[in-house]
Structures are given as C-alpha cells and as structure tokens.
C-alpha cells in the first residue's frame, strides 16, 4: 500500500567510510600521505576511547622503562622548563611555553 515509504535498497556510506576508501585509494597508488591524512586514517580506524587507552598504556610503559615514579619525572620536567626560563638565548615563545608547562606541572593551569 505505501511502497513509496519503503527503505532504500542500498545504504549511503558514512563520511568515515568515504574517508577510509579515499585513503585506501591513495595507498594503492603509492602516493605519500600528509600527517593530517594519517591522523584522519587513525581517527577513522580507532575510536577516541581506544586512542586514550593506548596513550595511557604507552605512558605507563615509558615510565616503567625509565624506572622512575611520577614525582621524579615531574621534577625532571620542572628543572628542564626552569632552565629554559633562565636561558638568555631562549625566544619569548619558548619562555612562554615553558611557563605554561610549569603551571600545568604544578596544577596551576586554569585552562
């Protein structure tokens, strides 16, 4: 009776599937991919939670490989950023970035 309201016989590909198909096509043509295209490929392949979990695992493995605790790593980072602030040859941008990182290390980051 209402045949015009029936479901379409094909599915419209999602934007993610279209991006994956485009990247596969570029890979088959042996064209170099930009970093943005690689990021898109990884984002399409792995969900956000999985990427966060992988980052946390990598951070933990890195910490184990160095045989140092978080406070030790934090102290080393603080000393490094302080050295940038005290360096007379450091650019203003480097000094601002170092100040922001120190604030983040100390928990003073408001952003």
Q: Name the average pLDDT for the chain.
A: 78
pLDDT for 58 equals: 81
With a pLDDT cut of 70, the percent of the chain lying above it is 65
The pLDDT of 14-26, averaged and rounded, is 70
The residue among 103 and 49 whose pLDDT is bigger is 103
The two tokens of residue 102 are 């120190």
3 pLDDT more than 80 = no
pLDDT for 41 equals: 66
The pLDDT of 66-92, averaged and rounded, is 90
The residue among 68 and 16 whose pLDDT is bigger is 68
- What is d(CA 40, CA 11) in angstroms, rounded to the nearest whole number? 23
CB atoms within 10 A of CB 14: 10
Q: How confident is the model at residue 94 (pLDDT cuts 50, 70, 90)?
A: very high
Radius of gyration of the chain measured on its C-alpha atoms: 24
pLDDT for 33 equals: 66
pLDDT for 36 equals: 76
């Amino acid at each position: 009776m209402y045949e015009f309201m029936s479901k379409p016989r094909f599915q419209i590909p999602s934007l993610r599937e279209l991006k994956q198909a485009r990247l596969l096509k570029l890979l088959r043509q042996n064209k170099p991919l930009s970093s943005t295209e690689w990021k898109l490929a990884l984002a399409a392949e792995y969900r956000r939670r999985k990427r966060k979990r992988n980052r946390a695992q990598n951070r933990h493995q890195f910490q184990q490989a160095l045989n140092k605790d978080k406070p030790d790593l934090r102290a080393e980072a603080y000393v490094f950023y302080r050295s940038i602030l005290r360096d007379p040859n450091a650019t203003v941008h480097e000094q601002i970035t170092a100040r922001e990182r120190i604030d983040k290390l100390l928990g003073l980051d408001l952003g």
